[in-house]
Structure 1
Amino acid sequence: MSLALLSGHPQGAGVGAMPVSTQGPGDALRAETPAQLMEGIRREATARLLPLLGETLRSERARVQKSLEAATGDSPARAMESEDLASLTVLAAELIQHEQKWQKALGEVFAVWPDPPVAQGHDAYSLLSDDELQAQLIGQPVAEALDRRFESVRDIIDRRLHTLAARLQYRGRPSNPLAARFLVESFLRAFDAGDCGRRLRAALLRRHEALLDGELAALYGWCNTRLAEAGCALAGDSDQAALIAGLGGSMDAVPANKTRIWETGNAVARAGAGASPASRLEAPRGNLLRRHARRQRDDRRAELDAAERSFLRDEFMSTLALLQADRLLPPGTSHAARLREGMYMVAGGLGIDRRTVAFDAEQDEAMTVVGALFDRLAERHTLGPAAREKLALLAVPWLHLALEDPQLFEPSSPPAMQVLSLLVELWDGTDGGDAQSLELQTLADRVADAILDAPHGDGRVFAAQLAQIDAALAAGRRRAEAVERRTWQALRGRERLDAARRQASFELQRRLEGRPLLPSVAGFLDVEWRQALAQAWLRDGDASDRYREVLSLGDALVESDGLAANDGGSAVADRLLGMLPALRDCCAQCGADPAATEARLAGLVAEHASPTPRQVHVPTAPAGDDAPLLPDDADLVAGLADTRFSEGQRFVQPGAAGVGRTLRLAWRSSLSGACLLVNASGTRELLLMPDALQAMIDSGHLQARPPNGGAVSEALSTLAARAGAA
């Protein structure tokens, strides 16, 4: 690290330049507000970096043109380069528009400083788009490479920005708007996937990286000097007392061990600072959980007061990073206890005596809340031993998130919480005998390993793994949904048929009512008429004209039988003649041929005309293969009105030897309320009325999972309710 950078002056400055912390900057620069200072840095960065966009296009166009001139034949590579050349020509013609998009992207980074910019185009429930995933895949390696090359000077600027942010009462580490990742993101937003293909976009980014490599050293040097002249000292250097005095603080406030002044955020703060960031004020559920955790901390006040000091923030984060890398948590009664013991274990390896150091309030509250969340997840889900241990290890990166993101526990559900919900659901109820279930468990293990292996504090891993889970599940989900659809469509057709038959049997019973009838009349009503009535219900509905016509035919046939019994004479004949077309239609719907139909009707007319004994008819019971899908005594009205269960809800069926299997409510009947439960492959497992399903849950044969919002949402809602009650 050069002395020129540390002093805030570029190389070539006078040898006798004083250190930043002791020389007196101009009054005009010191009088600038942080907003004015950052606006000046933005303007200078724009002036230096904006021309690089045009230079990037010109350089890449020259390369493609040269390659085309050297190529011969009509190879696929030549065709692609010709297409790239055409795209570059269009991009160059629209350069002003792309420069405006770049300026807008970089301006948004500066506009929210000291906070980092929010993800573009995202809401709480969205996944990465193809464009965003592509930008992340090609942009992250470039940003990391630039960060490594300029790590020393960027670290100096970061520390000066930390001090500047402290003037705004900002706790925590501010973002660096000139960090490589923001510059790369701004470039990718200037030339998005709609402007050029992925291959050309990646080539442009590589060309832009080379140009940035030659420009950033000078820009960073200028920025460092500008911040130094404005009185922004290096947060954490050995001149803390002078810094505090320069910012209006009291020298009496400096402790004997000067490193203690960095405990509230490792930045220089104004005397009396203590205002909470706006993000904390907008996190009601998180604040409720932290207050509840603070009451638990008060119960251990004697233990905490015995310590000589608290963990420094950087000290805590470094220890947390090592704990994540070690992948080893000591046993304990709760996840919070395991986190605390794990931190002390790693700190002991670094020479920190646990008897002399304690966790500060923010650290302890975060461990308590995260521990309670993971306790609830482990308690409410059926996880195998390996999954339980991996879940415990994941509490480490989520502890880091809890310290960095005040909104983590809010109902908005950031990507990290969505990933955690999905992981728990994938691990929950793994069936060792089901290949699909084992595949889901392997996916969860792979995602958990990727999160644990990611650089400590890199929040991008959650959005990336969320996209990975969605992509991995897509094909299996489509197959399962196809199987489910065929299953419930068949069930719905069968259930409609049952309902039609049930209604037809009801209407038949109303007309029989213990009434003696001619055998031919009773037989016709029992077979042809009942079937025609069921078909009219299925095809046209019970409010249709066709359905009412069939009902009227049954009534007319019963009346004609009554007339014949009373020796109606010609009136019976007239009545039968009027009904013959409708009677023939009933026979045709049953599939009878014309000859069989005429024979059937002839027998019916003959019995009306001759004295034939009448008897009470018992309706024919359905054949074995026509048995109803649901029992006759099922309370269909109650089942239809039941709202305890909803489509998509998960259930776990415990196994006899440990972890069971996961079932999902794939369909609820709109006729009866019946619930279809399928396995991971979409195959039918259970078809139950809501009361029967509830009985299985009450008996422990099934375990219901939250219907909406996922595992984490249910856990946080429960914890918040407990905290509110306490």
Structure 2
Amino acid sequence: MRVLEEVKRLALELLGGLPATLYPDIEEALKTAVHDDDGRDAPQLLYQNQAALWVLRQHQSAHVMRYRQNVGQGFDEFRALRIRNRGELPLGLIDESQIDFHLAGQNLAESLGHRFKAMLEQLRGRLQVVTTVLGLPPIPNPVGPTRLADAFVETFTDEQIPAALRALLFGHYERELGKVLGEFYAQVNELLARSGFGGSVEQPPAAPTIRRPIPSPAPTGPTDSPYADTYGHGGGPVPGQAGVAGGQSAGWNPDAAGATGYGMGGQGGAAGTGAGTGTGTGGGYGAEMGHGTAGSAPGQPGQPGHPGTGDRAAPTSAELGELRQMLHAWRDGRMAPTTPATGAPVQQPGSRRELRVDEVVSVASLLQGEPSDVFARALAGSGRLATAIRDQLNDGSRRLGLDPEHIRFSGDEEDAIDLVALLFDSLFQSHHLQDRARRLYARLVLPFVKVALTDQSLFVQPAHPARRLLDAITEACAGNKGETPQERELLDRAAAASQRVVAEYNEDLAIFETAHAELDALLQQQRRRIELQAERAAKATFGRERLSNAREQADSVLARRLAAPPLSRGVAEFLTGSWRHHLVQVLLREGGESERYREAIALGDALVDADRIASEGRGRDLATRLLALQPAIIACLGSSGLDHSAAEHGLAVLVKGLIYPHAPRDLHDAPPATPDDDDAERGLWVAGGTDTLRFDPAMAEQMRALEPGEWLQMTDIHGESVDAKVAWVSPLTARRLLVNRRGLRVLVASVEELASLHAAGRLQLGCEPTAFEQAMRQVRQQLDRAVGQH
């Protein structure tokens, strides 16, 4: 299985980008063809083909991704992971263009098959040994011309391509394939041969006999493990050293199966010294897999420039080093000297061989496509994700023949597993992720373990592709309940991104970049919706503040009119109801400095004066005054939504209350203030209520310096942590509107109230801009607390 993974990696590395390389040459060929064609239709044909080519270029990234998927699917079928039952496929009609595509693919496969006949025959025999060893039925060559032609056809099956452009497309694909297939088939044949799959056999080769290492007069490293020689570890962790000289693993029994076993040989050869510096252990990944020879092609495993398992970058951040020290102290504090079940002493780590990074990566690759239910359950709240990862890797090691009783993870590997586990636990617990998101994250656990093992910059570089993808997925899933079509689309796109990484990640970070680009395109729309949501929240808050301010101002004016002189009941009710509402409306629409506002104030004063005239029994003067006020009173009643007839009826009721000079008159209390939703909300939030605020004035000044766009971390009334951004500062009250990461209002509070929340421990200044950075801060805090306890 590991050899097949390496063949798949070579295939995707050498062939995966071919569709993207065809278009420049095709464009030149189109221009040349039209230039040589003197027909009158030549310009029109050129335009049609160029337009179709332009469409293909727009879909270039999707084509490359689909082509890589199709090539990788051949390996899944070969390993019987996803064998399609063609007998159950529905039959139907296909159009002529699809028939032409398939005919072109068949011609391409026949041409390449004839050209590379000798290499393909050799490869067929070696793959037959692989299927025999794995107990699989004969399956077509996953990298044969037929499979590569089918992968190309299926890549463009949904495109409308003119006949001339289709011929150029297949012609240039055949030409580019011809340039690399020879080297590729040679590498695959060499890899299979060096791994023990020499040729076709009728019976499965016998299992290799494990024997003790051959003594060496000058050992270059520890060889205590009985599995070290069996799996071709080349005699110990000496950087750049090849395997057993002469190209034969010391662990093989030459009499078993004609010395053509199917294990991982350590044939680096004497010439491989220094060529396998990529891994720094036992001749390197390249030496182990048979590529650690001098003069091997650039980019193969074992070369220093290869971006795979061999190039483990040293930590570049002092913070990461400090975090590792805390992690070691935390892990040491959790280790028990005896087994929990029997109390027997645990086997000492020194008696077991440390796994190499490439071995752990191979195990993780074997498990990557399998169901991730065990990780999903660990993320559900048990907090044992690290244990689940170790158990799965140990189980995968056992499948590859590595006995977990005789091997152990190195310190760096333990760090990578623990950091990834703590990272995912923190992400899931602090971002209100739903159950569907838990399964999505569970699928990403092993790919991120592989990234952490091979590239420590994951934890120190904000622009790391895997890190950006995890941030994008968290942004898409956090707080997303799938209640709207847009939210459901985001969840589907995030799930597709995680599935693509699982299906295609094989130590090439480009898959993270591609998946992030596709998800980020949809997130751009989401971010715009969030911005609009925050703008609407700001406008709604500002509207409530203006209304509250207008009501307070109107109540103040009304209270002074009701306090003196004594008023009749009719006038007091008119002032308390219609006139107050009219004042509020004028203040909201035209402001307190407008002419209409002064006219409204004058109306109230004139009614108070009319009531005084009525109390004195001056009927003629009262009639004159009311006739003069009639237009203003009708307008005042109209602002309350009354039509002309209803306004006249209201005027009549008011006049009826004034015509009796001996009607009782008294002082009246101002009506209670209208409840404010913000006041009720702040009463739930502010520590100690709204009447007594305890805060540090210096902290209040820090809060006053907060500008829109700055992030805080708060604890809501339910005790849950909330990331809150300052979205708006009120020009009326200087209060701050805080919204969450989805643009929804969290709190509207003054700087003093924010300072009071800080004093109560419910608010912290500053918040990491990305989910990954925030999770890493929580990991550090968790380790700080754990180390302090130990």
Q: Which runs of 5+ in 1 are unaligned?
A: 1-50, 72-77, 92-129, 154-196, 222-232, 270-275, 698-703
Give secondary structure in 1 for the equivalent of 2:457.
coil
- What secondary structure does 1:719 align onto? helix
Contact 1:674 1:687 (8 Å CA) reproduced: no
Q: 1:630 aligns with which of 671, 677, 680?
A: 677
- Percent identity between matched residues is 24
- Asked if 2 retains the 8 angstrom alpha-carbon contact of 1:495 and 1:629, the reply is no
Report matched runs for 1:426-465 at 5 Å. Answer: 444-465=494-515
AA aligned opposite 1:712: F
Q: Is residue 317–residue 400 contact of structure 1 (8 Å, CA) maintained in 2? A: yes
Pick from 295, 309, 326: which aligns with 2:370?
Answer: 326
State the partner residue of 1:362.
Answer: 412
1:289 aligns with 2:323: yes
- Larger RCO (alpha carbons 8 Å, 6+ apart): 1
- TM-superposed CA distance for 1:314, in Å, is 2.5
1:134 matched to 2:59: yes
1:60 to 30, 50, 71: 30
Residue by residue over 1:61-99, the C-alpha shift from the partner in whole angstroms, topping out at 9 and shown as x without a partner, is 34567899597xxxxxx997442567899x9xxxxxxxx
Instruction: Trace 1:62-211 onto structure 2 (pairs within 5 A).
Output: 62-63=32-33, 81-84=45-48, 134-140=59-65, 209-211=173-175
The 2-side partners of 1:664 and 1:341 are apart by: 38
Query: Residue 579 of structure 2 aligns to which amino acid in structure 1?
Result: W
Q: Which residue of 1 aligns with 2:562?
A: 512
Conservation of the 8 A alpha-carbon contact between 2:570 and 2:658: yes
Q: 1:355 to 1:609 in 2, by over 3 A?
A: closer
Shift of 1:516: 0.9
Alpha-carbon distance, 1:352 to partner: 1.3
**Deviation per CA, 1:420-456, whole angstroms, max 9, x where unpaired?**
3554566667869999877766655444333322243
The 1:254/1:440 distance shift into structure 2, 3 A limit, reads: closer
Stretch of structure 1 that moved more, 561-570 or 415-424: 561-570
The answer to whether the 8 A contact 1:61-1:88 is kept is no
Kindly provide the amino acid, as one letter, of the partner of residue 396 in structure 1: L
Question: Corresponding residue for 2:667?
Answer: 616
| Partner Cα separation in structure 2 for residue 52 and residue 443 of structure 1 | 29
Supply the distance in 2 between the matched residues of 1:219 and 1:266 (Cα, whole angstroms): 15
After TM superposition, give the deviation of residue 321 of structure 1 in Å. 0.5
Partners of 2:360 and 2:617 in 1: CA distance: 104
2:472 maps to 1:417:
no
Alpha carbons 2:603, 2:632 under 8 Å: kept? yes
Query: Which residue matches 1:593?
Result: 644
Alpha-carbon shift at residue 240 of structure 1 (Å): 6.8
Contact 1:57 1:88 in 2 (8 A): no
Q: 2 CA distance for matches of 1:573 and 1:596?
A: 18
Mark the CA change 1:562 to 1:80 in structure 2 (over 3 Å): closer, same or farther.
Answer: farther
SS in 2 for 1:355: coil
Tell me the matched-pair count.
545
Q: CA deviation at 1:618?
A: 5.6
**Structure-2 separation of matches of 1:606 and 1:306:** 103
Matched, 1:374 2:299: no
Residue 342 in structure 1 maps to residue 407 in structure 2: no
User: What residue is the counterpart of 1:309 in the other structure?
Assistant: 353
Query: Are the equivalent residues in 2 in contact too, given 1:667–1:676 (CA < 8 A)?
Result: yes
**Structure 2 unaligned spans of 5+:** 1-20, 75-111, 120-158, 186-239, 248-266, 293-299, 305-310, 338-345, 691-699, 758-763
In 2: Cα distance, 1:644 partner to 1:70 partner: 66
**Letter paired with 1:715:** A
SS in 2 for 1:319: helix
| Equivalent in the alignment of 1:712 | 772
What's the CA shift string for 1:375-429, capped at 9, x where partnerless?
A: 2234446667775455334210011122333332247264533443554566667
Instruction: Measure, in 2, the Cα distance between the counterparts of 1:687 and 1:254.
Output: 58
TM-score between the two structures when normalised by the length of structure 1: 0.54
Report deviation, 1:351.
1.4
2:580 maps to what in 1?
530
Three-state SS of the structure 2 residue aligned to 1:289 is helix
Following superposition, the deviation at residue 539 of structure 1 comes to 0.6
Residue 322 of structure 1, CA deviation: 0.5
Deviation sequence 1:654-687 (CA, Å, 0-9, x none) = 99xxxx9x9999999968979999999x9x9x99
Over 3 Å counting, the alpha-carbon distance change for 1:463 and 1:644 in structure 2 is same
RMSD, aligned α-carbons: 7.0
Structure 1 contact 488–676 (Cα < 8 Å) conserved:
no
2:357 and 2:463 map into 1 onto residues whose CA distance is: 26
Deviations 1:186-244 (A, max 9, x none): xxxxxxxxxxx9979997876654454455589999xxxxxxxxxxx998785676665
- Following superposition, the deviation at residue 350 of structure 1 comes to 1.4
Q: Give the letter for the 2:772 counterpart.
A: V
Seen in structure 2, the aligned counterparts of structure 1 residues 209 and 383 have a Cα distance that, compared at 3 Å, is same
SS of alignment partner, residue 408 of structure 1: helix
Question: Are the structure 2 counterparts of residues 398 and 277 from structure 1 closer, same or farther at C-alpha, using a change threshold of 3 Å?
Answer: closer
Using the TM superposition, name which of 462-471 and 421-430 deviates more: 421-430
Query: What code does the residue aligned with 2:677 have?
Result: L
Cα offset for 1:370? Answer: 0.6
For residue 454 of structure 1, what is the amino acid of its counterpart?
E
In 2, the alpha carbon distance for the partners of 1:679 and 1:247 equals 48
TM-score, scaled to structure 2: 0.50
